[in-house]
Amino acid sequence: MLHLERYHPLALLMLCSSGRRLQAEGEHTSTESVRLVGGDSHCAGTLEVKNQEEWRPVSGYYYSGWTLKTAAASCRELDCGSAVSVDERKESSFRSVWWIRSDCVKSGSALRECASSFSSSSILYLTYSDSVRLVNGTSLCSGRLEVKTNQSTQCWSLVCEDDFDQQDAEVVCRELGCGAPSVLQGALYGEVQPPMWTKEFQCGGHESALLDCRSSGSDRNTCSPGKAVGLTCSESVRLVGGASRCAGTLEVKQGEWRPVIYNFSNWTLKTAAAACRELDCGSAVSVEERKKV
């Protein structure tokens, strides 16, 4: 897991040769044992789990290993869209919490089945999109696009390729905390038969959420085979301040963009090669430390 810099003077500078690895969201079913509280919407807030008839928040302590992929794996228990951010919130004193290991969640177990009693001042705060999700993709930033059409019945609909364009894709990728759209293609992530979204999106590209965009009625209530929107956004990794898009300080977005710390992280050319593939660049050329002044 990458450790992101807050106030550290050493950042990681990478150079790749100029040259796509761009998880699958689970099916969402609401339960009576998991909830998000205290956020701006029902899809953001402190994660609380009911176990042994007691509601407690989940520990956000670093060693529990929670990442965006862990949050995505727990999506089946929350009626929200794709996971956007995983944050740790510090409280003024210790309290009773549930310790839930990331590897247990990713194995497919229910959250309450992974819970053990713990005391901590660190609380887990999750944010999901409440209206869009990417399903059946190869990463957190790819998949078949589905839009929540009814908040009360939790109904999700496909979007037809003819009602969706590049500017719409830019908004979705931004809403999900991903990078720019790189592939927009029908049937890329499988075909299913849920309801179809019956409006055409007309985004300007600057909106923060897809449902903030203007829309107009569509002439179709079905979509031809192979025409449901499949979207791949670039991952939340970038190189900044270099001479090209494949050189610079490595930054990762987990809610916010931060540089990656270099010392103690054992970065080698082999490690950098994996990041270069994610950035759609060529082979790793150099890895060096850069001190901030």
Asked if residue 275 lies in contact with residue 237, where contact means CB atoms within 8 angstroms, the answer is yes
pLDDT score of 270 more than 50: yes
The total number of structural domains that make up the chain: 3
Higher pLDDT, 244 or 291: 244
Tell me what the mean pLDDT of segment 104-118 comes to. Answer: 91
For residues 14 and 286, give the distance between their C-alpha atoms in angstroms, rounded to a whole number: 6
E strands, 218-266, in order:
229-233, 237-241, 247-253, 257-259
Are 214 and 263 members of one domain? no
State which residues form the domain around 260: 10-21+235-291
pLDDT at 93: 94
Please identify, among 128, 160, 182, the residue that sits at the C-terminal boundary of a domain. 128
Domain end point (choices 199, 214, 233): 233
Q: Which residue would you say has higher pLDDT here, 30 or 95? A: 95
Domain boundary among the residues 233, 251, 274 is at 233
The helix or strand, by DSSP H or E, that contains position 44, with its residue range, turns out to be: strand 44-51
Where residue 12 falls among pLDDT bands split at 50, 70, 90? low
**Structural tokens at position 157:** 């609909």
Q: How confident is the model at residue 194 (pLDDT cuts 50, 70, 90)?
A: low
Banded model confidence at residue 21, pLDDT cuts 50, 70, 90: very low
pLDDT band at 2 (very low <50, low <70, confident <90, very high): very low
Same domain for 96 and 68: yes
- 29 belongs to a structural domain: no
From CA 130, how far away is CA 148, in angstroms rounded?
8
**Whole-angstrom Cα distance, residue 287 to residue 17?**
12
pLDDT at 265: 63
43-52, 151-160, 169-178, 242-251: least confident range: 151-160
* Residues facing 284 on adjacent strands: 16
Q: If you count them, how many residues does the chain have? A: 293
Q: Tell me, yes or no, whether 145 and 81 share the same domain.
A: no
Q: What would the pLDDT profile of 34-43 be if each residue is shown by its tens digit? A: 999 999 888 9
Residues 211-221 pLDDT 10s: 999 988 766 66
**194 and 260 share a domain?**
no
Residue 271 has pLDDT above 50, yes or no: yes
**For position 24, what pLDDT does the model report?**
33
Domain at 224, CATH number: 3.10.250.10
Region 13-42: mean pLDDT is 61
- Asked if residue 139 and residue 228 are part of one domain, the reply reads yes
